[in-house]
Amino acid sequence: MKYKSTRGGVAGLGFTDALLMGLASDGGLLVPESIPDVTSELEDLRHCSFVELAQHIVGMFVDDIDTPTLNRLITQAYSTFDHPEVVGWHELDKVTVVELFHGPTLAFKDVALQLLGQLFQYVLALRNQRLNILGATSGDTGSAAIAGVRGQDNVDIFILYPKGRVSPLQELQMTTVSDSNVHCIEVDGTFDDCQRIMKDTFSDLDYKEKYQLGAVNSVNWARVLAQIVYYGYASLKTPTAAQFSVPTGNFGNVFAAYLAQRMGFPINKLIVATNENDILARFFATGEYASGEVHQTVSPAMDIQVASNFERFLFYYFGEDSQRLRGFMSDFAATGRAGLGAAPETSLFAAVAIDQTQTLAVMRDINARFDYVLDPHTAVGVAAAQQLCVADEPVLCIATAHPAKFPDAVNQATDTMPTHPSLDALSGLPQRKRSLRADLSTVKRHLAKSVLA
Ligand SMILES: *Cc1c(COP(=O)(O)O)cnc(C)c1O
């Protein structure tokens, strides 16, 4: 499989080059040149374990790592999960929760970032190359990315996070990692400051090349690829075509579901569930894509107004017309809004915004009726599923985090205090972090010094 950019300026790239490129060099996002079709194999694939299915699907998109090696990397990536089938499955009347939080940092991002870590390690050693990963996090991405590459010889990872604005548990998950290739940087500013510093550092192309910077945020194609697997897997476990409800921020997760559907997995509805940051819900209702103020909610991983993966969806919606896409994106960049003129024509997608009161009410109700605790992100998905699913057909709701990662919201909704042994084990461990001002040149100087050290 070869890869090309949504903006039309890059084509013919192999998988490992796409993995290391991250954002396409023309400013677009990388997508496969074609979408493989699995319809004729569905009966066989139904009998696969999660890891076997991952080997099959990922293998269709990778043609520059030999199959035995790729299969070994995939097996290793998922050996760190504490569920025998990697993905958990919990039925609550008509909604079934698909638990993706059984990895090392208890969020679904582990499914992709554990594999990304294995791929980086193999590819960099083969090419005798180093990579300095720079990322910004508002919480879950940082710890999952660190867990994916900690201890590796050819990678250093630098994570910027806003001082005092990630939860104490999320901070401990990053700063207590003792491996010397892990560098946590608390920035005296907001998440937007961290993200801006990261983007400005990447856009200094000479600096990026000199210090061999790489990215792990969800614009990286390999993250989307790893996420296709659980949609295929879950869709084959249900007797009829599946409806999925997906708690959505950057649109990476639900975009992977879209590709699974395009590959022929039996999926007939994708519910895009947002919190009060409802740019995507408004887009699906009106065709207008317009960013608003960021609202702080009890589901902070979804407090996003500009969804970085949405460009990939638009590319396909526009029939792979890069020129039309460039026009839309440049209107949006210039004015903060762009539109289709009317609501998008789709029978596959539905979208709804769920507010904080509804989120907490669903957590309370599910706990009371089923003795099952939802984290506040998953609760947004369950509430959306209850509102939008087609009656009598099963709905699969993607559970994106373990409730113990968000104890305050869970406690507020249910009066219980969720725990997890891996989080309990963090208290009292020594922490390592650097504190820096929210200033581009300060951060760049610090990176340069640490990289050469
Ligand atoms: C990252 C994250 C999301 C949002 O996923 P996207 O791929 O950005 O749409 C939802 N819930 C949790 C817990 C997350 O960490």
pLDDT at 325: 97
Task: Say how many Å lie between the CA of residue 300 and the centre of ligand 1.
Answer: 9
**Closest alpha carbon to 292 in 311, 275, 279, 309:** 279
CB-CB contact of 339 with 414 (8 Å): no
Residue 76 lies in a domain: no
Confirm or reject: Cβ of 109 under 6 Å from ligand 1.
yes
The CA distance from 160 to 374, in Å, is: 28
| DSSP summary character for residue 276 | S
Residue 143 lies in a domain: no
Each residue's pLDDT expressed in tens, for the chain with a length of 453 residues: 999 999 999 999 999 999 998 888 888 999 999 999 999 999 999 999 999 999 999 999 999 999 999 999 999 999 999 999 999 999 998 899 999 999 999 999 999 999 999 999 999 999 999 999 999 998 789 999 999 999 999 999 999 999 988 888 999 999 999 999 999 999 998 887 898 899 889 888 899 889 999 888 888 999 999 999 999 999 999 988 999 999 999 899 999 999 999 999 999 999 999 999 999 999 999 999 998 888 889 998 888 877 889 999 999 999 999 999 999 999 998 999 999 999 999 999 999 999 999 999 999 999 999 999 999 999 999 999 999 876 777 899 999 999 999 999 999 999 999 999 999 999 999 999 999 999 999 999 999 999 876
- Domain hosting residue 300, numbered range: 88-107+221-419
Mutate to test the pocket of ligand 1, among 400, 405, 410 (most ligand atoms within 8 A of CB): 400
Pull the structure tokens for residue 276.
């009060």
Q: Please return the burial class of 212, using the count of CB atoms within 10 Å of its CB with bins 0-12, 13-18 and 19+.
A: middle
Give residue 356's Cα distance to chain centre: 22
CATH, residue 240? 3.40.50.1100
pLDDT at 308: 83
To the question of pTM greater than 0.75 for the whole model, the response is: yes
Task: Say how many Å lie between the CA of residue 185 and the centre of ligand 1.
Answer: 22
Confirm or reject: Cβ of 376 under 6 Å from ligand 1.
no
Residue 302 lies in a domain: yes
Q: Whose CA is nearest to atom 2 of ligand 1?
A: 301
β-pairing verdict for 131-136 and 349-353: unpaired
CB-CB contact of 154 with 403 (8 Å): no
The CA distance from 130 to 120, in Å, is: 10
Confirm or reject: Cβ of 401 under 6 Å from ligand 1.
yes
Confirm or reject: Cβ of 250 under 6 Å from ligand 1.
yes
Task: Say how many Å lie between the CA of residue 218 and the centre of ligand 1.
Answer: 10
The CA distance from 103 to 28, in Å, is: 30
Confirm or reject: Cβ of 116 under 6 Å from ligand 1.
no
Residue 275 lies in a domain: yes
Each residue's pLDDT tens digit, 336-368:
999 999 999 999 999 999 999 999 999 999 999
The CA distance from 335 to 263, in Å, is: 35
Confirm or reject: Cβ of 249 under 6 Å from ligand 1.
yes
The CA distance from 50 to 84, in Å, is: 10
Query: 317: how many CB neighbours lie within 10 A of its CB?
Result: 19
The position carrying tokens 């089923």 is 370
Split into its structural domains, the chain has a count of 1
Known catalytic residue at 109: yes
The position carrying tokens 């820096």 is 436
Task: Say how many Å lie between the CA of residue 206 and the centre of ligand 1.
Answer: 32
Task: Say how many Å lie between the CA of residue 193 and the centre of ligand 1.
Answer: 20
The CA distance from 264 to 41, in Å, is: 10
- Which helix (H) or strand (E) segment is 324 a member of? helix 322-335
Each residue's pLDDT tens digit, 95-114:
999 999 999 999 999 999 99
Residue 67 lies in a domain: no
- Choose the catalytic residue: 4, 94, 109, 433: 109
Residue 40 lies in a domain: no
SS3 (DSSP) at 405: helix
Phi, psi of 366 (to 5 degrees): -65, -40
Confirm or reject: Cβ of 107 under 6 Å from ligand 1.
yes
Residue 288 lies in a domain: yes
The ligand 1 atom at the shortest distance from the C-alpha of residue 246 is 9
Task: Say how many Å lie between the CA of residue 301 and the centre of ligand 1.
Answer: 5
Residue 264 lies in a domain: yes
β-pairing verdict for 395-399 and 95-99: parallel
pLDDT at 424: 96
Confirm or reject: Cβ of 56 under 6 Å from ligand 1.
no
Mutate to test the pocket of ligand 1, among 302, 310, 312, 382 (most ligand atoms within 8 A of CB): 302
